[in-house]
A and B are shown apart, each in its own frame.
Chain A
C-alpha cells in the first residue's frame, strides 16, 4: 500500500495538537513560542501535501500549496523575531518570562 494524502493530513494533525498543547500548557513564554512554531510547521506539511496530491490543479502547473508554505515561513520568521523582542523587553522590565505573571493588561 502506498502513501495517501490522509497519511500526511493525520501527521499534520498530530503535530498541530502537540504544538497546541505546548502553546496552551506552558508557562515559559519562549516555550509557548516553540509550540506556535510546531503548529505552523504542521500547517506547512499539510499545505505541501495538498500541493503534491492535487489533481484538480496539477502539481506541475501551479504549486499553489508550496507558495502558501513559503509565505507562512516568511510570516513565521517575522513573528518569531517580534515575539522574542517582546519577551526580552518584558524580561528587562519585570525580570520574568512566566506568562502567568505578565498580567498588567488584565483587569
Chain B
C-alpha cells in the first residue's frame, strides 16, 4: 500500500489525538500562577474582631492552609467537616479568608457549622482574593513558614483530596524545614 493511501488515516489519528486531549480537559480549571510566590501584602480586618487588623506578617512563621470561603458558598459546606476535623486534631493552622460576605452572615454561618479558623481575614471587597488569583470559592492555598504559596486547591477539600494531595504537600514542607534546621 502506498504512503498516500495511509494519509487520511494519519490525519484521522492526529485529529483524534487533538480531540482526546482537548475535550477531556476541564476548561474551567485555570492553572494557577501563584505557586512559589509570596502571598501578596494586605491589611484587612479580622472577621470576628473588627478592630484587629491582619497583615501579611500574620501569615508568616508557620505552615498554614489559607481557605477562601463565604456563607454564600455552597461547596464550602462540603469541605467544612474536613476542616473542622483538621482543626480539632490540631493538624495544621487554618486561616480563613471570608470573601465577598457580610460580617453578620459569616458569623451566623460559622456559629451554625463550626469555626475551624485560627484567624479569619475579612475580605468583603475582594482586595486580597483578587491579588491571589482566586477564581471561585472554595479555594485553599498551602503556604509554608516563609509565607510562600506552595499549592492551590481549587474546589472543596474532601477526605480524598486531603489524603492524596494536601497532606503530601504539608509533609514535604515539614521535611524541608527539618533539613534546613
Question: Does A pair with B?
Answer: no
Q: A residues within 8 Å of B by Cβ?
A: none
